[in-house]
Amino acid sequence: MPRRLRHNAQHRRAATMNRSAFDNPIDPVEYTALSAQEQERVIQLQQTVLEDVALGKDHIQVIEDICRLAESAVPDSVASCMLLNDDGASLYVLAAPSIPAPAIARLDGLRPGPGGGSCGNAVFRAQPVFVENTLTDPRWCDIRQIAVDFNINACWSMPIRTAGGKVIGSFALSSFEHRQPGIFHRKLLEISAHLIGIVLARQASEARIAYLASHDTLTGLPNRTLIRDRLEQAIARARHARGGGAVVFLDLDNFKLVNDTLGHTLGDALLAQTAERLGACLQQADSLGRQGGDEFLIVLADARTPEAISAQAERMLDAMQAPFRIDGHVVAASLSLGIAAFPADGADPDTLIRKADAAMYHAKDAGRNTYRFFTERMNHDSAEHLKLRTDMRRALDAHEFILHYQPQLDLARNAIVGVEALIRWPHPELGPIPPARFIPVAESCGAIVPIGEWVLREACRQAAAWDALGLPPLVMAVNLSAVQFRRGDLEATVERALADSGLAPERLELELTESILLQDTAHMLQLVQRLKALGVKLSIDDFGTGYSNLAYLRQLAVDRLKIDQSFVRDMTHNADNASIVRAVVQMAHSLHLRVLAEGVEDASVLDRLRAFGCDEAQGYHLARPMDAAACAAFVQQARPATASGI
């Protein structure tokens, strides 16, 4: 499209959009009272503003054009636009292209009031003010010296209003002669003030849109785009000054649990209050933004040493120590922080954010409520984390996961009574990946929910298949993740797995960790009771590593405890561990709970467990985890049990 046509088309679109705002802002009857030349000047004023807006001119430039057109229509005059400051107590000069800078400096800060000149009175009284003689009019008593110094003999001012009628400033024509305005002058002032109000409203709307595009609506913080820009600027300044800084990646610990248990409204309030606390920790040059979800990013623009960065990180952690009080709830919250310094760890925003993110995950792994600086080892771990996260989605569809089974021995009957299903991942490129490496990744990205559902279905299917082969009825134990309790439809998942396989509910045992039980105990109690209503068994895995008590476990209707292998493995050489194992067995039996010892690796440990009255055992001394076929053969062969084990 030729340039002229493109310009005209743009002009027509703007004219259509703004017709109601720009057309006929003065009474048509009064308009006809103007001379043809005066009418032409009014039309020219409207058209110029319309074109300026259509061409996307800056709002101050548009208002300066209005001032110049008004000045050209009234010889020996200068025009000005003054607006109220944010506090509403004083005015400042927004546009006055023909007024000298010293005069503008004197006018800035003018307070609306009876003696504040034409503009101060127009804003104060919310009505037009026409002063013929500034040297004698009492309305100029507070600023008369300005009139004397700059030869202002008459001044006519019109309030500028919002669409709702609120006065936000004034438009004025100041004359070097003593005179009153005629009809044309009054209408010129009226239309100029009207058009300026429209231009300012448009600018405010555009500014609001720009703000929303660059800020988080919940917290009011810069969003990820703006905080990235600020990081880029901080890097550039540090490079120029041969200085340094840091980017801190922050994540609220266990925020998903707060959202799931107390609701999104309270979760949003927690995010907003966290933002306030973090903001109070920062220096003026620092920037805080919200990355999204429960993640924040801080740019420390002038942090030159690790000690200074550490001190800042400590302040952020300390700021979270006091509980949050939200809608009658008392909520404890903490942060995990990852730190990447520039220029040491990178010279561009994306690299630094990625490295700070990797360091944050290491802070999580270190127990949360702490911070970690990025190291190159984390870079490798982060790349591996990303690959595992990407590959495990495909692995589930490609049937790469398999289950191995580790037999469990009844010590009184010397018989295999159950097996534990253990997931394995023989990665096609990386080889066998230990569960300790890929399970945390699956939990962090939510993939543990579909993976856990597959484990349940496959374990139940295999137990039913063994029944068809004539194996003794084994209890199938399956580990559950805390994420499955929080995010998965666990009750329905278990019910489907049992129905699809035909396995009797009492043949399925769900293994929970103590940490799961300590999360939102009321909700947990209800869920466990619903699972028990299905007829399945429940056990506590790795017992002794958490903080739960046996009475609470009994309230949850737990069937069995599995003593953690860290107590069992060396109990023949460690009297304290042996005492712990014996005490757990005795207390569990007093509550009618069965006890299984994990990590049995030699005969002496097995003998000691029998002496303590432990019910069952599991470990390499008895059998290693094996595939389904090998496990079936092992169980068949082990039917006639020996006195010392299997």
The pLDDT tens digits for 375-409 are 877 666 667 777 888 898 889 889 999 999 999 99
What pLDDT is attached to residue 63? 94
- Average confidence (pLDDT) over 495-508: 97
- Residues 179-189 have a mean pLDDT of 91
My answer on whether omega of the bond before 428 falls inside 30° of 0, hence cis, is no
Which of the four CATH numbers 3.40.50.880, 2.130.10.10, 3.20.20.450, 3.20.10.10 does domain 387-637 have? 3.20.20.450
* pLDDT at residue 489 in the model: 83
CA R_g for the chain: 38
Residue 436's pLDDT band, with cuts at 50, 70 and 90, is confident
CA distance 27 to 188: 12
Q: Pick from 381, 382, 363, 375: which is nearest to 252 by CA?
A: 363
CATH of domain 3-212: 3.30.450.40
**Could you count the other beta carbons within 10 Å of the beta carbon of residue 508?**
24
Q: Regarding predicted confidence, which is higher, 51 or 604?
A: 604
Q: What is the rounded average pLDDT of the residues 620-631?
A: 96
Cβ contacts of residue 467 below 8 Å, gap of 6+?
A: 473, 503
Three-state secondary structure readout of 354-409: HHHHHHHHHHHHCCCCCEEECCHHHHHHHHHHHHHHHHHHHHHHCCCCEEEEEEEE
pLDDT greater at residue 486 or residue 221: 221
Q: Is the pLDDT of residue 308 over 90?
A: no
What is the mean predicted confidence (pLDDT) over 84-93?
94
Top CATH class of 224-374 equals alpha beta
DSSP single-letter state for residue 507: G
For 433, phi then psi, to 5°, come to: -110, 120
Q: How many CA atoms lie within 13 A of 515 on its CB side?
A: 11
Checking if the pLDDT of 591 tops 80, the result is yes
Local confidence band at 314 (pLDDT 50, 70, 90 cut-offs): very high
The contacts of residue 613 (CB under 8 Å, 6+ apart) are 585, 586, 589
The band of 15, judged by pLDDT with boundaries at 50, 70 and 90, is very low
**Reported confidence tier of residue 121, pLDDT bands at 50, 70, 90:** very high
Identify the CA nearest to 473 among candidates 283, 301, 635.
635
Answer yes or no: is pLDDT of 82 > 60.
yes
Look at residue 33 in the predicted model and tell me its pLDDT.
63
- With 50 as the cut, is the pLDDT of residue 450 above it? yes
Other CB atoms within 10 A of residue 591 CB: 12
pLDDT of residue 365: 81
The domain segmentation of the chain, as residue ranges, is 3-212, 224-374, 387-637
140 confidence band (pLDDT: 50, 70, 90): very high
More confidently predicted of 115 and 34: 115
- Reading the block at residue 62, the tokens are 């548009």
Predicted confidence at residue 521, as pLDDT, reads: 61
Q: Are 181 and 118 in contact (CB under 8 A)?
A: no
**What is residue 139's DSSP assignment?**
G
Q: What is the DSSP string of 412-453?
A: TTTEEEEEEEEEEEEETTTEEE-HHHHHHHHHHHTTHHHHHH
Q: Nearest-CA neighbor of 476 among 408, 568, 522?
A: 408
Q: Is the pLDDT of residue 547 over 90?
A: no
Question: What's the CA gap between 128 and 181, in Å, rounded?
Answer: 11
- How far, in Å, CA of 631 to CA of 626, rounded? 6
Is the pLDDT score of 513 beyond 90? no
Other C-beta atoms lying within 10 Å of the C-beta of residue 44: 13
Per-residue burial over 289-308, b if 16 or more Cβ lie within 10 Å, else e, is: bbbeebbbbbbbbbbeeeee
pLDDT, mean of residues 611-638: 95
Q: Tell me the per-residue pLDDT of 321-350, one tens digit each, with 9 for 90 and over.
A: 999 999 888 888 999 999 999 998 999 999
**548: which residues sit within 8 A by CB, 6+ positions away?**
514, 517, 518, 540
**What average pLDDT does the segment 433-457 reach?**
89
Q: How far is CA 145 from CA 120, 136, 429, 480, 507, in A?
A: 15, 12, 85, 83, 98
Its sign, for the CA torsion 261, 265, 268, 272, is negative
The mean predicted confidence, pLDDT, of the chain is 87
Go through 172-202 and write b for each residue having 16 or more CB atoms within 10 A of its CB, e for each that does not: bbbbeeebebeebbbbbbbbbbbbbbbbbbe
Q: For residues 299 and 289, give the distance between their C-alpha atoms in angstroms, rounded to a whole number.
A: 9
Mean per-residue pLDDT, 207-224: 91
Pairing of strands 91-95, 415-427: unpaired
d(CA 435, CA 433) in angstroms, rounded, equals 6
User: What percent of the chain has a predicted confidence (pLDDT) above 90?
Assistant: 60
User: In Å, how far are 24, 127, 159, 169 from 166, measured between CA atoms?
Assistant: 21, 11, 9, 9
Cβ atoms within 10 Å of 548's Cβ, excluding its own: 20
Q: How far is CA 154 from the centre of its chain?
A: 58
**pLDDT at 287 exceeding the cut of 50:** yes
Q: What is the pLDDT of residue 501?
A: 97
- Give yes or no for a contact between 232 and 349, defined as CB atoms under 8 angstroms apart: yes
Q: Is 539 helix (H, G, I), strand (E, B) or coil?
A: strand
In angstroms, the CA 436 to CA 409 distance is 25
pLDDT given for residue 442 in this prediction: 87
How many other C-beta atoms lie within 10 A of the C-beta of residue 135? 13
For residues 181-201, give the mean pLDDT: 92
